[in-house]
């Protein structure tokens, strides 16, 4: 499996066509047009139509086109799906996921839509935001709820308010939650996307936070401003040296595989499956096929 890289995922309010068109031209891995908390209640309907219009009229290049819908099992989410799906986004970001059954029901509904519209199965991806105490303790079931799920996203702001923690710059209060999301994503073969960084002025702080997220095992991070894209994509992009080393290792592995050898020596080091998987991860993050 070689999933599309989602290093930086840029959010923008879905009722703001000019931000959507700006986001479409930035060559970011993913954009997320937000119908949930970024849009005032009395703008929801016009936001839905703005999203549909943007999907149908703008060119996004290689950028993945995602829509964050409102919370599942709400009347708002129903309306979101009705208006947005016919405009064919690449996937949906689902906020405050707590109930694995609601996610698998959504997946089934997407399958029905795909069948009726004669679209290939799994045309729409799903990405689940884990941002409540209930979501956190249901991680195992949520991660396994549907094969359509591509990523778990951690949302620190809602999470800390949901559990009554105090948000600090150091972020120790969310360390457990971040690592839990990474572990469950890894176990279910999903990407793990880290929470946003709210201080738009502090790009040094963002770089450090993204580097720490990478260190924890996240594969990408949310962005909320165009200036945040480059620092995030760089943090999650392997270096040229790492890419070249991973490519050499995979070539050597394929040669050994063809001759039926399991463990072998490569560039002076023993190589076994964990190192092959790590090299595959590096190439996946670099967007390389292998
Ligand atoms: N996506 C696309 N374009 C964006 C953007 C975003 N998230 N944030 C800012 N821009 C654009 C602005 O429209 C402006 O474009 P222009 O030069 O063509 O006028 C340019 O980038 C510079 O923006 P700036 O003036 O620095 O910021 P702002 O004051 O216009 O906006 C925010 C600040 C926080 C309101 C804005 O960044 C934003 O809406 N972020 C996303 C918030 C969101 O979606 N939250 C909910 C999900 S977590
Ligand atoms: Mg939230």
Residue 210's pLDDT band (cuts 50, 70, 90): very high
Residues 267-276 have pLDDT tens digits of: 999 988 888 9
What pLDDT sits at residue 2? Answer: 59
Is pLDDT larger for residue 262 or for residue 64?
Answer: 64
* Mean pLDDT, range 58-70, rounded to an integer: 98
CB of residue 157 inside a 6 A radius of ligand 1 = no
Containing 64, the helix (H) or strand (E) segment is: strand 64-68
What pLDDT sits at residue 290? Answer: 62
How far CA 49 is from CA of 10, 59, 93, 258, in Å, comes to 20, 17, 17, 54
CB of residue 37 inside a 6 A radius of ligand 1 = yes
Residue 1's pLDDT band (cuts 50, 70, 90): very low
Report, in angstroms and rounded to the nearest whole number, the Rg of the chain calculated over CA atoms. Answer: 20
What pLDDT sits at residue 61? Answer: 97
Q: Which residues of 205-235 are buried (b: 16+ CB within 10 A; e: fewer)?
A: ebbebbeebbebbbbbbbbbbbebbebbbeb
The answer on pLDDT for 186 being more than 60 is: yes
Give the whole-number percent of the chain exceeding pLDDT 70: 99
Question: DSSP label at 226?
Answer: G
Active-site residues: which are they?
Answer: 272
Structural domains of the chain sorted by starting position, each given as residue range(s) with its CATH number in brackets = 8-236 (3.20.20.60), 240-285 (no CATH)
Is pLDDT larger for residue 289 or for residue 233?
Answer: 233
What pLDDT sits at residue 90? Answer: 98
* Mean pLDDT, range 239-263, rounded to an integer: 90
Ligand minimally distant from the alpha carbon of residue 10: 1
Angle of CA points 29, 224, 215, to nearest 5°: 65
CB of residue 158 inside a 6 A radius of ligand 1 = no
Residue 114's pLDDT band (cuts 50, 70, 90): very high
Give the residue ranges of DSSP H helices in the chain.
17-24, 44-57, 75-84, 100-116, 133-137, 139-143, 156-163, 175-187, 203-216, 229-236, 240-258, 273-285
Q: How far does Cα 272 stand from its chain's mean position?
A: 29
**Residues 231, 8: contact at Cβ < 8 Å?**
no
* Mean pLDDT, range 230-246, rounded to an integer: 94
Give the whole-number percent of the chain exceeding pLDDT 90: 87
Pocket test for ligand 1, best of 8, 11, 17, 22 (most atoms within 8 A of CB): 22
Q: What is the mean pLDDT of the chain?
A: 95
Ligand minimally distant from the alpha carbon of residue 160: 2
Residue 258's pLDDT band (cuts 50, 70, 90): confident
Cβ-count burial of 269 within 10 angstroms (0-12 exposed, 13-18 middle, 19+ buried)? Answer: exposed
CB of residue 135 inside a 6 A radius of ligand 1 = no
What pLDDT sits at residue 285? Answer: 79
Which residue minimizes the CA distance to atom 45 of ligand 1? 38
**Residues 158, 120: contact at Cβ < 8 Å?**
no
**Residues 222, 11: contact at Cβ < 8 Å?**
yes
């Amino acid at each position: 499996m070689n999933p599309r890289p989602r290093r930086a995922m840029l959010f923008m309010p879905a009722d703001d066509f000019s931000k959507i068109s700006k986001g479409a031209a930035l060559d970011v891995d993913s954009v997320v047009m937000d119908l949930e908390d970024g849009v005032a209640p009395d703008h929801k309907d016009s936001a839905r139509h703005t999203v549909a219009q943007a999907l149908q009229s703008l060119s996004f290049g290689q950028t993945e086109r995602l829509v964050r819908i409102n919370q599942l099992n709400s009347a708002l989410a129903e309306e979101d799906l009705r208006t947005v799906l016919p405009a064919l986004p690449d996937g949906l970001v689902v906020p405050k996921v707590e109930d694995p059954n609601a996610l698998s029901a959504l997946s089934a509904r997407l399958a029905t839509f795909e069948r009726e519209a004669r679209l290939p199965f799994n045309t729409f991806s799903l990405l689940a935001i884990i941002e409540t105490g209930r979501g956190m303790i249901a991680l195992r079931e949520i991660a396994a709820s549907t094969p359509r799920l591509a990523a778990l996203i951690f949302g620190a702001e809602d999470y800390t308010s949901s559990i009554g923690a105090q948000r600090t710059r150091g972020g120790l209060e969310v360390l457990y939650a971040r690592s839990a999301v990474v572990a469950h994503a890894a176990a279910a073969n999903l990407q793990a996307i880290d929470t946003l960084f709210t201080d738009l002025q502090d790009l040094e702080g963002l770089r450090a936070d993204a580097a720490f997220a990478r260190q924890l095992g996240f594969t990408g991070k949310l962005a909320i401003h165009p200036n945040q894209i480059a620092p995030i994509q760089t943090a999650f992009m392997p270096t040229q040296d790492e890419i070249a080393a991973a490519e050499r290792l995979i070539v050597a592995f394929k040669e050994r595989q063809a001759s039926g050898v399991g463990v072998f020596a490569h560039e002076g080091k023993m190589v076994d499956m964990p190192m092959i998987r790590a090299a595959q991860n590096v190439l996946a993050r670099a967007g390389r096929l292998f």
